[in-house]
Structure 1
Amino acid sequence: MANRPNWDLFRALSRRVLRDGVPLVLTEDVRTLLLHTAREVAIRDAELALSTEEGALALMRETGRRITDGSNRLTDALHVMWQHQRAGDYNSARQLMRDVLAVEVVPYYRELAQGQLDDMSDEP
């Protein structure tokens, strides 16, 4: 399994810019952070987005949305999956992970869902 991405710096920057209204200054470090994080959440053409302030802000919003939505989707599915497993309904449990894989784009979350699916047995 891949290492867990560390999105703390991205989240802190995003919070300052998008919530607190601090201007986004595209320093080399900020550009590197945004490009790296965008790659981790499977966003293409991130460099093009960084050519304008509006594009950079849109990139930041989309990156944050993918991180949050993917985390929520996987967490919710895991919770229900474990309920199904405890009830002995492994087909429904597996289907939840398949449903996540059908829509998830973030590679890390896809890998976690696939790992759950691969490791699922039919025994308690």
Structure 2
Amino acid sequence: MNSDDWRRVIDLGLALAGGAELPQDPELPALLRRMAPQVGMPSADAEAALRDAPGAVALVREIHRRTRDGSYRLSRAFTASDALKESGDTAGARKVLEEAMATEVVPLYRAQLQAYLDHVDDLDET
């Protein structure tokens, strides 16, 4: 995984949302092929989208949406879980994380949620 790839696709998604057109970059198809599996999209779907310009735009938007929505979902889940755990409600903290996991499609975010779940019952040493 390359963090530069993530940043480039996020920037492209933001530019598209701001009304920009997708740049004519010969490296763009390879970038999108690398990123599609990183956000839980089948490679075949990425290949199909890359057949034409509107498909490539839709692919960038979908990759961007998945990274943005997943990031927000993680932030909310971690914050809520921490608050519940602090109040002594580890079952509630676990439930929040499990609910986020049930809807998350981005493998990296799923791994982060799983790591949090694996330690939700641990005592904090603060």
TM value normalised by structure 1: 0.87
Higher relative contact order (CA 8 A, sep 6+): 1
1:106 deviation in Å?
0.3
Q: Is the 8 A contact 1:90 1:122 kept in 2?
A: no
Runs of 4+ in 1 over 3 A off after TM superposition: 3-6
Deviations 1:2-57 (A, max 9, x none): x68441111222333442413432x4311111111111001121011000111111
Q: Which amino acid aligns with 1:91?
A: A
- Matched residues, number: 121
User: Counterparts in 2 of 1:50-61, with a 5 A limit?
Assistant: 50-61=50-61
Identity score, percent: 33
User: Counterparts in 2 of 1:19-98, with a 5 A limit?
Assistant: 19-25=18-24, 27-44=25-42, 45-98=45-98
Q: Which amino acid aligns with 1:117?
A: L
Partner in structure 1 of residue 12 of structure 2: 13
TM value normalised by structure 2: 0.86
Note the residue ranges of structure 1 that are not aligned, 5 or more in a row: none
Note closer, same or farther for the CA distance 1:119–1:52 as it changes in structure 2 (3 Å cut): same
Deviations 1:62-102 (A, max 9, x none): 11100000000010010010100110100000011100111
